[in-house]
Amino acid sequence: MLLMSRPRARHGVGCFIAGVGGSVEDSIIGELIQERRWCPDCQLPTEARVHHCGTATVHVGGVRGMDNDAVNLCCTIAGAGIAAVLTVGKGSARTGSQSGTI
Ligand SMILES: [Zn+2]
């Protein structure tokens, strides 16, 4: 840790912030936009278009087609974008590799 160069420390902090940002976005998008469905037979919420009981579910909220996988994809892209903004630029990894630090 004592040998950690400042750009590497900045990358670590940037990645941490990006991870937290992606997680927060996952919670927000999941709550506000993710499709919510309902099984009328079981009277249970679900994400599936056909519940495990075999009944077709009904759309009750969120954006149609915005399932958990789509939310995860959006949050992964957002987290990567946050990491790129926070870690690329002045004093990026190129500085560390050019100086020979590990
Ligand atoms: Zn059911």
User: Residue 5 Cα, ligand 1 centroid: separation in angstroms?
Assistant: 56
- Between the CA of 47 and the centroid of ligand 1 the distance, in Å, is 11
For 60-79, write each residue's pLDDT tens digit.
Answer: 999 999 988 898 898 888 88
pTM for the whole thing? 0.59
What is the rounded average pLDDT of the residues 54-63? 96
Instruction: Report the separation in Å between the CA atom of 59 and the middle of ligand 1, taken as the mean of its atom positions.
Output: 14
* Paired residues of 38 in beta bridges: 45, 58
Q: What is the distance between the alpha carbons of residues 14 and 72, in angstroms, rounded to a whole number?
A: 20
pLDDT band for position 94 (cuts 50, 70, 90): low
Can you list the positions of beta strands (E) in 16-95? 36-39, 44-46, 58-61
User: What percentage of the chain reaches a pLDDT higher than 90?
Assistant: 30
- Tell me the domain boundaries of the chain: 34-88
* Angle, CA 69 vertex, CA 75 and CA 77 arms, to 5°: 25
Interval between CA 80 and ligand 1 midpoint (Å):
37
